[in-house]
Amino acid sequence: MDEISVLIGGRAGDGINSAGLIVAHLFSQLGYQAYMYFDYPSLIKGGHNFTIIRASRQKVGAFRAKVDFLLALNQDCLDLHTARIDAKTVVICDSSRVRAEGICIPIPDILKEEHAPPVMGNSCIIGAFARAAGIGWEVVEKVLTQNIRKGLDQNKKVARRGFDMARGYVTVPVHDSPPLPLLSGNEAIGLGLLHGGLEAYIAYPMTPTSNLLHFLAEVGEGGDLLVFHPENEIAVILMALGMGYTGKKTAVGTSGGGFCLMTEGLSLSGMNEIPVVVVLGQRAGPSTGMPTYTAQSDLHFALHAGQGEFPRLVVAPGDAEQAFFWSSLSLQLAWKFQVPAIILCDKTLCEGYYSFSDPRETIPTIQPQPPGIPGTSYLRYKVTDDGVTPPLYPPTKETVIKVNGYTHDEAGITTEKAELAALMVEKRVRKGMALERELALLPTVSRYGDPGADSMIVCWGSVAGVCREVADSLGMGVVQPVVLAPFPKDGVKAVLGNPERVLVVEENACGQMEMLLACHGIRASGRVHKYDGRPFTVEELKERIAGVP
């Protein structure tokens, strides 16, 4: 048994997400790499929530169509997932709410006897699952102790009752790899930003990046990170630019709707050269769309948002390690080149959990710009060879620092003179070229699978995980541009080679990556799109690729 999949489902409020995480931690302790997908509708109580935890000896970033264990806290969980069950699937359920064949536990009776609240039903079913999967009680006890803050003893008792009532079906083999941390994409982004030197984070809550706000707010309570939630996303980005003006390294987080409100501020950042990092978590649109479901339909929005022309950095990490790595670099690069940077992610990455291999030793340190020379002759927009002006921040002795969203001269004073306007446009263009040169030294394109395959997949963002796995099984190669602007066209072409087929896989309807590739002279021969808000399963993508002529 190299891998195992578990689905746990119930109503919103049943603690499904935390139960899923406990199951993922059980596998971590047994030496597996885990990935967890969390599916929930946009409501607070009721509905149907479920998570799928997939554990494997290899790194995983996708789930399968079938599950080995189905943990049902209500009847919906069985009825809605019949397609995921086959003869081998072990069903574990709450016998008071579900009619099924398998391990049926009278959860309410147990909770009553232990004087435990209803939400602890998830611990009970986890105990039963552990026994059914042959996971030792000591592992369960350890994981519960590490992850439960409130009512630990009661949770343990309830879990033990579930454990004792079940019987073993299989024994998940134990491997001696040390357990890896489990991080959500949001947490990986937050930690990466902190690694890059984040000093302030400003956001208005919006799925799927609200949890990044919550995570950093907790971090900020204990230290010198400034976290603020203002009245709207317009205030968010303008506050970030105010912070940046004083030299504070600042990021903001939102989704498409909030980013719409930020675009005028983004353009201001392009013009007044105050850097800002925007974490843009995509979800199914247009408009409010499906707030808690995934999409990759904001690529061109991220590339082109804001009036006028200005250089920007856009990165699209595909897993937790890339999220950490590129969040750190985005912050460092934005500050070095005084440009806005966008970390383009999606619901799948932001709210998915991944076994995390600490990438810190591989992250290069970007040499920051040397500061400007203080004094009355300081020019905030002094024209330089690479277009980047050595910065100073107020208060600096004897120095007046003027930033301006109008076309301005070197001192930051508004101008409409033709030659000055052209000079300043060229200054900003040169910054973009300097950024491109710096990126040429960085791993802007990832590749997986067979590098010499005559059939190649091009994908971006969170889809990379499932593409990697499918490519391995079909003998294909995968090219994942992680940096999307400035587009690493030479890097993509070099890695892609000259294959017979180029298939572009993306979770949108119009082929946004395919269009971007075409702009750079890279032609696709086929495409697989998905736009129902759900990520590809391994089987689904395999089947879809097989169907491409």
Partner 1 sequence: MMTDRGLITDAQNTWCPGCGNFVIQFALRDAIQSVIDSGIERERIVLVTGIGCHAKMADYLNVNSFYSIHGRTVPVATAIKMARPDLTVICCAGDGDAYAEGLDHLVFAAKRNSDITVIVHNNRVYGLTTGQYTPTSPLGFRGRSTPGGTREEPFNPLEIMLSSGATYVARGCTRRKKNLEKVIGEGIRHRGFAFIDVLQVCASYFNLSDVYDRHVYELGEGHREDNFSGAFEKAREWDYNSESPISIGIFYRTLRPTLEERMEKPPGQIMNRPALITKILESRT
Q: Where does this chain bind partner 1 (CB under 8 A)?
A: 28, 146, 179-183, 187, 191, 194-195, 197, 200, 202, 219, 222-226, 228, 230-232, 234-235, 238-243, 245-246, 248, 264-265, 268, 272, 356, 358, 360, 376-379, 394-406, 408-414
Q: Give me the DSSP letters along 297-334.
A: --HHHHHH-SSS----EEE---SHHHHHHHHHHHHHHH
Q: From the CB of 219, what's the least distance to partner 1, in Å?
A: 7
For residue 108, say if its preceding peptide bond is cis, omega within 30 degrees of 0: no
Q: From the CB of 338, what's the least distance to partner 1, in Å?
A: 15
Q: From the CB of 195, what's the least distance to partner 1, in Å?
A: 6
Q: From the CB of 287, what's the least distance to partner 1, in Å?
A: 21
Q: From the CB of 42, what's the least distance to partner 1, in Å?
A: 25
Q: From the CB of 142, what's the least distance to partner 1, in Å?
A: 11
Length of the chain: 549
Helix-helix angle 185-196:210-221, to 10 degrees = 50
Q: From the CB of 235, what's the least distance to partner 1, in Å?
A: 4
Which residue's CB is nearer to partner 1, number 179 or number 432? 179
Closest to 456 in 3D by CA, of 507, 486, 493, 423: 493
Which residue's CB is nearer to partner 1, number 180 or number 290? 180
Cα 336 from chain centroid (whole Å): 24
Which residue's CB is nearer to partner 1, number 105 or number 193? 193
Which residue's CB is nearer to partner 1, number 184 or number 480? 184
N-terminal to C-terminal alpha carbon distance within the chain: 34
Find where tokens 């209500």 sit.
Answer: 74
Residues 6+ apart with CB under 8 A from 440: 488, 490, 491
Which residue's CB is nearer to partner 1, number 402 or number 489? 402
Give dist(CA 340, CA 302) in Å, integer: 11
Which residue's CB is nearer to partner 1, number 28 or number 512? 28
Q: From the CB of 416, what's the least distance to partner 1, in Å?
A: 10
Q: From the CB of 191, what's the least distance to partner 1, in Å?
A: 5
Closest to 238 in 3D by CA, of 261, 259, 265, 278: 265
Bridge pairing between strands 103-105 and 455-459: unpaired
Find where tokens 């810190």 sit.
Answer: 360
Tokens of 378: 């300081």
Give dist(CA 530, CA 376) in Å, integer: 58
Lateral strand order in the sheet of 455-459: 445-449, 477-481, 455-459, 501-506, 526-529
Decide: 336 and 367 in contact? Cβ < 8 Å.
yes
Taking CA atoms, 144 is separated from 5, 72, 113, in Å, by 20, 20, 20
Q: From the CB of 320, what's the least distance to partner 1, in Å?
A: 11
DSSP class of residue 284? B
